[in-house]
Amino acid sequence: MEITQTTTTASSSTPQAKTSEAVLSSDFETFLKMLTVQMENQDPLKPTDSSEYAQQLATFSGVEQAVLTNKLLSSLMVQMTTTGMAQMADWVGKEARAAVPAQFDGSPITIAPNPASVADKVELVVYDTDGNEVQRSEIPKSTDPIEWAGTDTDGTPFPAGLYRFQVVSSSNGEVVLTETADVYTRVQEVQSENGNSVLLLEGGISVPASDVSALREG
C-alpha cells in the first residue's frame, strides 16, 4: 500500500522560493542604483529632503521583509505537512471509525451507534448505493458497537457493495433523532490535499483525518 509523499510539494516550491529571492536581490540593487543616480543629479539649490530617502528605504525594506516572511511560512507549511504524513503512516491497514458508507464484501461490518438518550426505540436503517432502504431493524439503546451481518431476514446475503447506515431514535412513537452511524472501515492510503491529511478507505471512500473519531487494529 502506498502513502502519498509530500516531497513533490517541497521540491516544487523550492525553485519558486529561489526565484523570489533572486528577483528581490536584483530589485534591491536596481533600487540602490536609482537612488544613487537621484542623489547625484538632484538640484544643489533644492536638495531632496533626507526624510524622503528614508521613507523610500523603509518602504522597500517592508516589501523585502514580507517576501522573506512568506518564504519562511511556506517552508514551515511544507515541513508540518511532511511531519503529519509521516506520523499517520501507521494508520494504513488499521480500521478508522467515521460517519461514512462502508464496503460490504461478505464480512460483518462494525457499526458504532449513538442513539438519543431520551429514545425508547432505536432502529438501524440500511441504504444501498442508490439510496434505497434495504433493511430496517431494531437495535439496543446503547453506544456499544454492533455487527451488521449483511444478510436478509431469511439469511440471504446482500450483494457486495457500499452501504450507508442510519440510526433512528424514537420516543413515544415520534422520531427525535436521525443521524448517520459511525462505521469501522480499513484505511488503505493516506493522502495530502491542500495541506490536510485525507484517508482513503475501502470502497474508494475518502474522509478527512479530522473526521475520524477512533482507530483500532484491523
**pLDDT tens per residue, range 77-133:** 445 444 556 677 788 899 999 999 999 999 999 999 999 999 999 999 999 999 999
pLDDT score of 113: 95
Domain-wise residue ranges, the chain:
7-90, 114-180
Task: With CA atoms as reference, report the closest residue to 74 among 21, 5, 4.
Answer: 21
pLDDT score of 9: 39
Residues of the chain with pLDDT under 70: 1-29, 31-32, 35, 39, 42-54, 56-64, 66-86
pLDDT score of 73: 57
pLDDT score of 4: 42
Domain 114-180 fold: Immunoglobulin-like (2.60.40)
- Contact at 8 Å (CB) between 118 and 176? yes
